[in-house]
Structure 1
């Protein structure tokens, strides 16, 4: 019996077994596509071969849409009724067509159709935008070989596997490509992979030797080839999908029939306590909020023409609740441009330009000294009050104070060394050597710009490009490179006369993150062999000879000053070699290069160490890492708003640290915690060592007593792989959240996503990820909110994001302004809906008690239908769209107001229960006060008492007035639209009563006009409406008045100062508000400027103390 069941199950398994869509392979024969292990065979330049099986592969078309024309209706309906709330209302609508419903079917079906229809329309609109974005990408053009050696343009989506394409300079690759040839003689190509792996350095790709001759279009006329691609892992031929177990049915007890029918009726009657209009109102409000974000001119980038874009409207309120920002570096924080700013040559500092940190610190310092001088005068008090009223900011952006350098990559200003004036300096020979090192010690390729006549440089790092531009401006222009030589065009005076010099390139010791230096060995025209080296100052100083330390003390002082100014520094050194010394070393070097085995790298490293010693110090460079416009100020503002910022980058540790200094995530004096893999032992040993480092770092932070102390956590990708393990990640997260800034270097896209998930799940708070490339897609999707930079690095990140902006600096306004507004608007909307529906729905429950729980409603069906759809919906929408507790300018001046969102001050249980209690109170007042007023009282002059339609209409009128007045008192900012919606809703109610009364009794259900004939002539109707409205709103008015007077929130005080233009009597509160204008932070531009000011004040105090000591000595 058991065997039969097993065989039956095996036969049934065929019903849910599916085959993989891959070519079949047998164990006996080779792979169906030529040979074992090969999953794809590509016929190059033979498009007809790929139009028939088995070589017909997928097209190059990409799609990020959720629906298409055929799947929209069923899939969108499934998405809508996947929500429990919509299922509930669907069930209620179905029951409404039965005799059990106390209302007409229209009153239940119409709102559901409206809500679902509007939500589907919103989904269609957002998917249409994604579809248009796909069209934009798929329609990009690229040259392809169409035959006979002729290239023509084709859209990306029409490319086929095997096509030969011609990609020109600064263009994007349309697909995965294999390099056949290039315009360079050696068939090399410099590729920027920033949007894939986050690397800023250019990658060198080399063509195959057999395809190097394909350098002309006509050479592709008869070109054919085959490419065999190996599978990285083997897919299974079959897999089994087991259906879910459906044996868990149960048979509930059957209640009494009357109990069931009454329960259904009660659910229908009290269904108004669950506001279906809440969903549609929030959908409408979110779409309009997203529209305002899209239309915000302050987030429009004029350079690229890209506006901000809310790609989804479902996360608007979460923009105001972000706790941690996880950012990519390359293309997000930086614009990949270095500016040569200062240098130290032969112990003398050159360069008069100032960095952003120096300018801001000097300005703040001058402002503080000016305040101390003016503080004694009475005029200053009035001036200070005026500044308090206007809420002026202090720091002025750099681009408003200084002009931009006209030369890209060169902001150096010092006449002593420009235009050949360096020849008049006392150490002119050392200065010339310094400039030659800049021009020769590099790996770049020059390209002549025919329009300007200047050379541009394709380099592996932006530092090299800045050095070459600086050398050119100093008169030493790198103009040509071959396999064996470097050519420099030297100009010694302003006359323009040049001399072309050739330096034979003998050897090159490349830069690595481990070596932290680069060396070239060249022979000049005089036959002298020179070793030219540049690298980190600590590395170079350790390799100086005794005679080469002449300028070490002065250079060290200059390097410290450059570091404090946020500049990236390198030291330059050299030495001369004799022929015999070089020949002996070169023999060992060539032998090591030809060695095959695991010891090859170690041998090369040891031989390089032999050459890079006994150097002579020449000087040092200082370049400013050009961030995107406004990045330091944006990070500063976000830090003041209380947001934590993590940087996840694929760059090396040194580059990431320098960027951290440039954007003020790091600063001088900040204690850096570097978690590294310091051994190559077994995994368990390494993991224990990393865990010990994390534990020691956490203990160090706990024992720190300096209130100004700040810690930065820096970790690389290899170490992060261990730190993200299940048994280590919690300790790592605890350490990370204690640090002011966190920088993760050399991380893969998967690690970015894992770190994001760790922060999101470990802290339980809202996370935001921002990036611009394909390597950021996983991180963007994993975060609660994903933001893509719509720059020049492709659209992968934008397509995967929830919001897109053109520059990182726009994130400040997106969060601090729109995020704060959207959070508060949605929170107030939801709380008001609780109030509104409780105040209305409980009156139905109270009447049930008077009606013997018969299921009878006191309100007309048409009243019920119009209540949420027309009479109370528009004021709520205006609240969610136009409400502003403070203006956008004040949001930016007082960024700490943003913390109301992460702290959830407007949607915690205290607020929710408070609004629900207010709704309960209003329902009691509306129902029982009307009952008391109309009970046994004459309603008309003839002495008639109020009928049930009259009582229900009067009660409903009180509800309309009370609810609309309540929302008017809730608003802080009024526009004419809000006035129109609030008071227009009340007028619409009276207009409806007038028109409804004139309809035939078959429609209205009344043989008389309820307003004109019954209610309007009765004074008690108007008096009851006025009394109930006042009684409902009086407690709320008392509450907000008490709160503003005795326990004001931050925005209350700002409103008093900003909007009413009057001084605050309680100066203590205003002083508190000024001190809380920004969250205390250890990172950001302001924190860095504060540290610089403390340093300058310390120097000033020491100088004053020194002068006081010397003065008595002179007098004596």
Structure 2
């Protein structure tokens, strides 16, 4: 733990500043430029640029390449700068908020939240956002009648900024002491004591867990050292909002980037996407070709020019390095990045992916553009159940008790005589205890006569009981007043341990009319477990309850148990627990030094957290609790869930539902939702599946099944399953809505968070955020398919056209002695990729589709029968061809484009060389040799590539024509419009050569012959590619 000495602590002026921005005005240029050059591709282009500034080795002037490089890098820098500027604005708004700091003399000083330090005591007002991780010391409520403040030992907060939950949560003060009943302001004796006597704070190592908090506060008073232990019950995290409480005084624990809110934000980028891995594989192949070209040219040059010195050979090699560097497309990565940003925006405005959530029209969002194309190559979807496939909208349907059997709530309550509840000794005792358990053992609070709570199950039970006249009128940490159909009953709370995901149950010890009762409520997995120590009678009863629950398939169940405690049992529990807490508070006290405690309490000596103490003692006292009933709760399926899952399953995507629920509930949900049918699925317990995957047992059988229901799975097991599948090279998408889904969302290739009732942690750790599961259909089958198709065509065409372009330069080097003399003019080489041949690929990246889709005018409803039929036709097409799109970017197709580019380049080069063998002269007898050959081949290459790009477009639209027009416009503009403007260095060819070439009639014969040749070769090439793709598509299931 981290120790802070309050008196000697170092005050840091901006300790609580949260900084999400990366740069400032001074560091932006050098830092971002360094970030840009850290990218392997950009660094490669930068080295090429530097070499061009060495006149002795560069075949070109560097200015054209510098301009092209500046456009690519500059665009990326502008994007980074705008994003970081927006983060600066958000940081400033967050850090400059004002709050009240309590000084030593208890005066208030208004300060900005960024100036808070650990150990400060701060006063927060109602509706103020908490600005650090703090421990609640004291609350104050304004009495409207007396206009005085009253000390209270709790407060209410809302944590929607942290986890999305709008239900109010109750936090307890560190010490439950009421020093004054009426105060003019916050200056009570306890705050004076805290401010004066707090000496040190021991803080847990910073972490991102919202459910764990541990600190120890040392207070020295009257020569006596006292240690207070703070836990999650007392902790209020940064981002929470104070509600329904006038003022609270809090001790600051964690500040700045050490707060749990700051640490919980997932800033780790996904590892390389599946699509990017294939690009890197292609780049490796291209660099291999690059190396062969470079060393073969250099070797030939050294052989052909045997009298050259080693230095001159190195110069020739460097020149060839520059020439062949154009083999790697400079503009490809920028083009893909722009397309991804555009499509992320399209997803956010897609009206078909908007949903109404509690009266608010919520859109879908792309939070990580790096994986946007991986949506088109998903093999497995791992999905949570509650809140993902279901709405997390609970309705209490039935109650079960062995004395009455399965009944609805009305029938059960009719059998209870309210006046007899005080005695708890009549024939309806079990039913009465069941009713009291439901009313008492929960974490629900009252606000404006309405229930507020975290658990949807608890709210559904209590709201239905309230409709029948059974409710609690007031609730404090010490007492609950129940209204039982008009009869009042006081319940005194002696001890309480709230529900936790670790324990999966809540227990409360209370006193009712002199009887001490332990009520426990939780999952059947924990409360009815065979491993729990219990008597034979209770074990038999639990077995019967377990058998009953396992036969109730469609409902979520909560088990309720009780135990009557003697005064001696409770006193022992209370005393021993306090001893363990004292041991925890004072680690200098050793059990071994106290013979009376040795043996009996030695096992508590190693407990490190207050929660550990609670867990240990409640586990003991919960032994032999008696089953009193179960609640059967229905969780409504999410809208359009059946059609969505049916379509995804029909798209050859395998669906695995991973839930913590019991087997029967999971299977029923899977069948009812359409995730599985009775013929092609199986169910398996979470650990069992992990073991089989780790041991690689029957993997063929597991991967053959289209749907699997994984039940009783923990959050850690969800993450393990995702990790194992990923290591087995399965492309997975994980989708969930709660904290327990975060592990699998972060590990999956694509993580999707549902904006639901269980909080924002899933969304914060996701790549995409959707309002409902049904939006996944459009995200995958529409955006996923199209984007994979678009980027596949962009990348394969990019490498094809560059090889087609550069191989001619390579072959030409064997005609000039391997000297590295350029065949093309420098500006043509530099702008061939960046401008001339990038317009059509950009239009493909934005608008390409494999099938035209008719869009309704309002984006949601189809206004005509023809539109609706077209939409249904597309849905059918998307389902049947989802896997087919993946064939466009497979290794065989990538290799085919590389080989096709090389072969077409070789054939074109030698055909033109044959025509130029004796030279071509015009009417005046002047010869058109190498420069003229360069002009003609450059023209043929440009026209051939434009034609090839146009022919691979599946969805011709107005933007396709605009792209073709812009390609010709820029080519003509740079060729003729800027011809001869030397200071711009924009002339593609020497000014006196261009007219000679295009006024020679033989030029057009050569152009026509070359274009016919390339068109024929391109036709054969595209036919081969199409045939290869179709064969691969036929092999897909």
In structure 2, the partner of 1:276 is 330
* Inter-partner Cα distance in structure 1 for 2:844 and 2:675: 47
| Deviations 1:300-321, CA, capped at 9 Å, x for gaps | 4654666444455444334444
Secondary structure of the residue aligned to 2:131 is coil
In structure 2, the partner of 1:220 is 187
In structure 1, the partner of 2:24 is 68
Give 1:977 deviation, angstroms: 1.2
In structure 2, the partner of 1:861 is 826
**Runs of at least 5 residues in structure 2 that lack an aligned partner in the other structure:** 142-150, 207-301, 303-307, 419-426, 580-599, 605-614, 854-870
In structure 1, the partner of 2:217 is none
Of stretches 96-105 and 934-943 in structure 1, the one that deviates more from structure 2 is 934-943
* Inter-partner Cα distance in structure 1 for 2:891 and 2:29: 38
In structure 2, the partner of 1:40 is 4
Structure 1 residues 939 and 211: CA distance shift in structure 2, 3 A: farther
* Inter-partner Cα distance in structure 1 for 2:675 and 2:803: 57
1:771-920 matched pairs, under 5 angstroms: 803-804=768-769, 810-886=775-851, 890=874, 894-895=878-879, 897-899=881-883, 905-920=887-902
1:922 and 2:976 equivalent? no
| Deviations 1:1001-1050, CA, capped at 9 Å, x for gaps | 99652336538951579652553354134223220343356468x74837
Give 1:60 deviation, angstroms: 1.5
1:107 and 2:95 equivalent? no
In structure 2, the partner of 1:480 is 474
Structure 1 residues 147 and 69: CA distance shift in structure 2, 3 A: same
Give 1:295 deviation, angstroms: 3.6
| Deviations 1:3-34, CA, capped at 9 Å, x for gaps | xxxxxxxxxxxxxxxxxxxxxxxxxxxxxxxx
Secondary structure of the residue aligned to 2:1005 is helix
Give 1:82 deviation, angstroms: 2.4
**Runs of at least 5 residues in structure 1 that lack an aligned partner in the other structure:** 1-36, 44-48, 235-252, 352-411, 492-498, 576-581, 672-705, 1051-1071, 1077-1116
In structure 2, the partner of 1:954 is 936
Give 1:912 deviation, angstroms: 1.3
Match of 1:116 among 65, 69, 73: 73
| Deviations 1:115-174, CA, capped at 9 Å, x for gaps | 222222233234344444545654667676699989898764354445544567887643
1:181 and 2:123 equivalent? no
* Inter-partner Cα distance in structure 2 for 1:517 and 1:81: 55
Q: Check conservation: 2:504, 2:523, Cα contact below 8 A.
A: no
Q: Check conservation: 2:789, 2:888, Cα contact below 8 A.
A: yes
1:26-425 matched pairs, under 5 angstroms: 39-42=3-6, 54-56=10-12, 58-97=14-53, 98-135=55-92, 137-138=94-95, 156-165=113-122, 173-182=130-139, 187-189=153-155, 205-209=172-176, 213=180, 218-220=185-187, 223=192, 224-225=195-196, 226-230=198-202, 256-300=310-354, 303=357, 307-322=363-378, 337-343=393-399
Q: Check conservation: 1:191, 1:205, Cα contact below 8 A.
A: no
Q: Check conservation: 2:642, 2:672, Cα contact below 8 A.
A: no
Structure 1 residues 192 and 853: CA distance shift in structure 2, 3 A: same
In structure 1, the partner of 2:1017 is 1032
* Inter-partner Cα distance in structure 2 for 1:570 and 1:658: 14
| Deviations 1:672-701, CA, capped at 9 Å, x for gaps | xxxxxxxxxxxxxxxxxxxxxxxxxxxxxx
Using structure 2 for the length normalisation, give the TM-score: 0.66
1:705-1104 matched pairs, under 5 angstroms: 708=680, 710-715=682-687, 740=708, 760=726, 762-764=727-729, 803-804=768-769, 810-886=775-851, 890=874, 894-895=878-879, 897-899=881-883, 905-933=887-915, 946-995=928-977, 1005-1007=990-992, 1009-1010=994-995, 1014=999, 1019-1021=1004-1006, 1023-1024=1008-1009, 1026-1039=1011-1024, 1042=1027, 1047=1031, 1049=1033
Give 1:471 deviation, angstroms: 0.2
Structure 1 residues 59 and 592: CA distance shift in structure 2, 3 A: closer
1:568 and 2:556 equivalent? yes
* Inter-partner Cα distance in structure 2 for 1:752 and 1:815: 22
In structure 2, the partner of 1:245 is none
Structure 1 residues 477 and 127: CA distance shift in structure 2, 3 A: same
1:622 and 2:607 equivalent? no
* Inter-partner Cα distance in structure 2 for 1:873 and 1:669: 43
1:581-600 matched pairs, under 5 angstroms: 585-595=566-576, 597-598=600-601
Of stretches 622-631 and 966-975 in structure 1, the one that deviates more from structure 2 is 622-631
* Inter-partner Cα distance in structure 2 for 1:162 and 1:609: 41
Give 1:507 deviation, angstroms: 7.5
* Inter-partner Cα distance in structure 1 for 2:66 and 2:667: 61
Q: Check conservation: 1:328, 1:647, Cα contact below 8 A.
A: yes
Structure 1 residues 775 and 177: CA distance shift in structure 2, 3 A: farther
Match of 1:502 among 477, 489, 498: 489
Give the aligned CA root-mean-square deviation in angstroms: 5.8
| Deviations 1:881-928, CA, capped at 9 Å, x for gaps | 222225786469745755467xx5333321111001211232134323
Secondary structure of the residue aligned to 1:103 is coil
In structure 1, the partner of 2:210 is none
Using structure 1 for the length normalisation, give the TM-score: 0.62
Secondary structure of the residue aligned to 2:888 is coil
Q: Check conservation: 1:417, 1:474, Cα contact below 8 A.
A: no
In structure 2, the partner of 1:398 is none
Give 1:469 deviation, angstroms: 0.5
Give 1:638 deviation, angstroms: 5.8
Secondary structure of the residue aligned to 2:999 is helix
Structure 1 residues 528 and 710: CA distance shift in structure 2, 3 A: same
* Inter-partner Cα distance in structure 2 for 1:146 and 1:309: 45
* Inter-partner Cα distance in structure 1 for 2:3 and 2:957: 65
* Inter-partner Cα distance in structure 2 for 1:270 and 1:89: 12
| Deviations 1:846-887, CA, capped at 9 Å, x for gaps | 333344444443433332233122210111122222222257
Give 1:981 deviation, angstroms: 0.7
Secondary structure of the residue aligned to 1:89 is helix
Give 1:342 deviation, angstroms: 4.0
| Deviations 1:480-525, CA, capped at 9 Å, x for gaps | 235676433355xxxxxxx24215458789787779686877757x
Secondary structure of the residue aligned to 2:887 is coil
Structure 1 residues 213 and 106: CA distance shift in structure 2, 3 A: same
| Deviations 1:325-376, CA, capped at 9 Å, x for gaps | 677889878876533234468767667xxxxxxxxxxxxxxxxxxxxxxxxx
Secondary structure of the residue aligned to 2:1018 is helix
* Inter-partner Cα distance in structure 1 for 2:368 and 2:909: 42
Q: Check conservation: 1:141, 1:155, Cα contact below 8 A.
A: yes
* Inter-partner Cα distance in structure 2 for 1:326 and 1:40: 44
Structure 1 residues 631 and 173: CA distance shift in structure 2, 3 A: farther
Q: Check conservation: 2:645, 2:673, Cα contact below 8 A.
A: no
Q: Check conservation: 2:920, 2:1002, Cα contact below 8 A.
A: no
Give 1:839 deviation, angstroms: 0.8
Match of 2:451 among 451, 456, 464: 456
Structure 1 residues 867 and 479: CA distance shift in structure 2, 3 A: same
Q: Check conservation: 2:394, 2:456, Cα contact below 8 A.
A: yes
Q: Check conservation: 2:400, 2:630, Cα contact below 8 A.
A: yes
Give 1:988 deviation, angstroms: 3.9
* Inter-partner Cα distance in structure 2 for 1:658 and 1:143: 54
In structure 2, the partner of 1:31 is none
* Inter-partner Cα distance in structure 2 for 1:212 and 1:640: 67
Of stretches 852-861 and 225-234 in structure 1, the one that deviates more from structure 2 is 225-234
1:2-21 matched pairs, under 5 angstroms: none
* Inter-partner Cα distance in structure 2 for 1:777 and 1:68: 32
Structure 1 residues 349 and 170: CA distance shift in structure 2, 3 A: farther
Structure 1 residues 41 and 592: CA distance shift in structure 2, 3 A: closer
Give 1:568 deviation, angstroms: 0.8
* Inter-partner Cα distance in structure 1 for 2:1014 and 2:412: 81
In structure 2, the partner of 1:1096 is none
Structure 1 residues 267 and 1011: CA distance shift in structure 2, 3 A: same
